[in-house]
Amino acid sequence: MTDALHEPLAQRTTEILRARSRELTARLDQLRAEGLALDLTRGKPAADQLALSNALDGILHGDYRLKDGTDARNYGGLLGIPEARAFGASILDTTPDRVIAGGNSSLSLMHLVVDTALRIGLWGAGSAWQTDVEAAGTRIKFLCPVPGYDRHFTICESLDIEMIPVPMTEHGPDMDRVESLVSADPFIKGIWCVPKYSNPTGCIYSDTVTQRLARLPTRAGKHFLVLWDNAYAVHDFESPTPRLTSLAPLLAAAGTEDHAVQFTSTSKITFAGAGVAFLAGSPLIVKSLEKHLSAITIGPDKVNQLRHVRFLEGRLTAHMQQHAALIRPKFQAVLERLEYAFTGLGVATWTKPAGGYFISFNTLPGIAKRVVARARAVGVTLTPAGATFPYGKDPDDRNIRIAPTFPRLEDVEAATDVFTLCVELESIEQILARRAAS
């Protein structure tokens, strides 16, 4: 691990910095020679987490009947089986009639919602966003809190939606900025939100931010949508678990129920890629989506939905505590190393999430790409710098997303050690280069 003197790097003499730079370079050369192949990029569950859900296999024991007698093996049930809709409603804190239980991916549901709003309209005839922009000769725009989730950005790019970054604070998006932007531009039609253990900062939106987001559609142009991606709704490390204010009652109070859609999935509860995804919206939104869905499919995989309900009903909290027991030590390993390496050095900041899948790390401005490249040269793959920003462009070149869940604990430790060495070395080189130039 890095030898941390607790004096800010910028205050050390050039001689001391050069000596430290030589030391770090030698250490990294040694590590390169070890031929490491470590990866901190993937926000995926590790094999031992997946194994927690192996009982899904065979859980039905030949009993495919739903509570209402329907045979789950046959066609039908476009909005999902009642049991699964009720399960999704319990996570998203709404009623089952407002929930669609879909296939294996909430991202597909997000794409479905945005695509429907854009091309067909979620609010009845003539409400497609496309109609508005074609008449005005402009583009649809979305607000993207940054750093944020790259696949949200991919959905926007794939549908030619322009992305406007807005800063994240530790309590959620900067709402002054959000409100002023949507008030000024009626073609801003949506905002991406990951309200609990946000990807990648890990923050939980405060009551005030949630309340302001619930009211946001009243300030925006017509047909605005809050996309509430609650992917980490139950992914807590600690007990008692931190609370996220429930969105549904705030929407009802603000009269904006037709302008928000919530999403979640079991991707990081059971099997990533073979779970069940959910969305929740007002009766009008569910009806519009049902119509569009009926052109896409006869119905979702009801057998998988039934397996999930039988497996998770009444034991979700206990199951998530088992995940937490496996994930927590990996987060701790990263956070301890960051603290040891950087406390007092004045060259880095990072988040300390109480749940979710990510740590967001900020270097000095201008070196994130260099850190990622240097780590790669030593055999440690990090998420590309910039990935947490629309169009892959971090204007300050400083944010790096760390995803500790997938590798084994020893690998997380080794990869973080390399990472801290690379950050310190790049920071020193930048300070030295600036001194030489001044």
Interacting residues toward ligand PLP by CB under 6 A: 43, 105-107, 149, 194, 199, 229, 231, 265, 267, 277
DSSP state of 98: G
- Please, what is the minimum distance in Å from the beta carbon of residue 267 to ligand PLP? 3
- Please, what is the minimum distance in Å from the beta carbon of residue 152 to ligand PLP? 7
CA 132 from chain centre, in angstroms, equals: 30
CA distance between the termini of the chain: 32
Pair 280, 262: CB distance under 8 Å: yes
Give 187's contacts (C-beta < 8 A, 6+ positions apart): 132, 133, 136, 138, 139, 140, 141, 221
Pair 156, 129: CB distance under 8 Å: no
Residue with tokens 């204007």: 395
- Please, what is the minimum distance in Å from the beta carbon of residue 103 to ligand PLP? 9
Q: Which is nearer to ligand PLP, 156 or 423 (by Cβ)?
A: 156
Give 268's contacts (C-beta < 8 A, 6+ positions apart): 45, 231, 232, 235, 323, 357
Q: Which is nearer to ligand PLP, 129 or 153 (by Cβ)?
A: 153
Q: Which is nearer to ligand PLP, 193 or 345 (by Cβ)?
A: 193
Please report how many Cα atoms fall inside a 13 Å half-sphere around the Cα of residue 128, on the Cβ side.
Answer: 12
Ramachandran category for residue 397: left, alpha or beta (phi over 0 → left; psi -120 to 50 → alpha): left
- Please, what is the minimum distance in Å from the beta carbon of residue 99 to ligand PLP? 15
As a residue count, the chain comes to 438
- Please, what is the minimum distance in Å from the beta carbon of residue 306 to ligand PLP? 19
Q: Which is nearer to ligand PLP, 225 or 345 (by Cβ)?
A: 225
- Please, what is the minimum distance in Å from the beta carbon of residue 332 to ligand PLP? 21
Pair 327, 237: CB distance under 8 Å: yes
Q: Which is nearer to ligand PLP, 121 or 390 (by Cβ)?
A: 390
Pair 209, 165: CB distance under 8 Å: no
State how beta strands 225-229 and 188-193 pair: parallel
Q: Which is nearer to ligand PLP, 105 or 388 (by Cβ)?
A: 105
- Please, what is the minimum distance in Å from the beta carbon of residue 387 to ligand PLP? 12
Q: Which is nearer to ligand PLP, 105 or 363 (by Cβ)?
A: 105
